[in-house]
Amino acid sequence: MDYKTIKVNISDNIAILTLSRPEALNALNSLVFSELSDFITYLETQSEVRVLIVTGEGKSFVAGADIAEMSNKTQEEALQFSLKGQEVFKRFGLLKIPVIAAVNGFALGGGCELAMSCDFRIASNKAKFGQPEVNLGLIPGYAGTQRLSRLVGMGNTLYLLMTADVITADEALRIGLVQQVVEPDELMVVVMEIANKVASKGKSAVKNIKEVTRNGYEMQFDAASELEANIFSYCFGKEESKEGMQAFLEKRKPNW
């Protein structure tokens, strides 16, 4: 895999995807989206990978979309640029493995939207979050209005979108945008610990949790509950669950 804007490392069932345009604070452009899409397609074939970590190189996670590229787009070109970003970010949610955002620095605009497309977020206490598009006379284009409202509620979302305020990691934790805040030099250590913890669980169970929770969130409660019951019962036909329950009864670690 020879990429120009991202770096990839896969080791011990954990994949690390690093956005790598440090000279542009890892800003998102058409090439970034193409390379992200290509990598996700590759990752879908790698059955040994149990968890994906997404982070940024340098002092930024992703500082936003590349304004230099965006500024000359026509309305139709802007539509396609938005739809492309939405498609790529949606694919992180559709991956069968957990995707963890390790937010090391600025996560603004498209960077915040990328972080929100991951399953959950761990942040350095130096990280900053925001959707400053209104400062440019724009709105978020990569489903940021939708993901942010689902994560932090309508009031918090409208406040952040309309004021373009940039918030600290601690404030992001308070409103539920991130799940944990750590010291900068501990970020990848903590995220790797979490990734390895998740990877040690039943592989199918983790996959099913992601599928049921993400799909169910968009459904009516009763339909989502029925989906949960169906997948719960489906697990009982798998060797993984039989081994997990037997290991519990025998007071030993399961042999996945």
Set 113, 183, 193, 250: catalytic member:
113
DSSP notation for 208-235: HHHHHHHHHHTS-HHHHHHHHHHHHHHH
44 tagged catalytic: no
* Alpha carbon distance 149, 143 (integer Å): 10
CA distances from 112 to 60, 66, 77, 146, 196 (A): 11, 14, 22, 12, 25
Measure the CA dihedral 111/116/121/124, to 10°. Answer: 30
Q: CA-to-CA distance for 165 and 250, rounded, in angstroms? A: 54
**Is 113 one of the annotated active-site residues of the chain?**
yes
Bridge partners (DSSP) of residue 11 are 14
Q: Do the Cβ atoms of 46 and 82 come closer than 8 Å?
A: no
Catalytic residue among 48, 57, 87, 133: 133
What residues act catalytically?
A: 113, 133
